[in-house]
Amino acid sequence: ETGVTQTPRHLVMGMTNKKSLKCEQHLGHNAMYWYKQSAKKPLELMFVYNFKEQTENNSVPSRFSPECPNSSHLFLHLHTLQPEDSALYLCASSQEAEPLHFGNGTRLTVT
């Protein structure tokens, strides 16, 4: 149990589908993050939320839409994705200057 739970673990979607990734943290942290992990590339920070407010959008295409309804939940809404968006999407949380805690990720395949 990592304290950060992501669902689903695996997702296959077509380019015209709309789906959402969910992340929930049980650690009482005030910051939440989405990262993208692709093969042979460094982890890419996508979005950061502090106290439910988005504080960073790392030039992510608009086909990815984050939502943070409260400090414990984070969503990533997906629509009209491309095959190159296939990757492992990792959610993380942290409290102020403390290290990040990661979930186990959602393996996304876009067909």
Give contact residues for other proteins (rule: CB under 8 A).
2, 4, 6, 31, 33, 40-43, 45, 48, 50, 55-56, 90, 92, 94, 97, 99-105
12 vs 15 by CB, closer to other proteins: 12
Is residue 37 left, alpha or beta, with left meaning phi > 0 and alpha meaning psi from -120 to 50? beta
Shortest separation between residue 56's beta carbon and other proteins, angstroms: 7
Nearer to other proteins, 58 or 111 (CB): 58
CB of 53 to other proteins, least distance (A): 12
User: Closest distance between other proteins and the C-beta of residue 104, in Å?
Assistant: 4
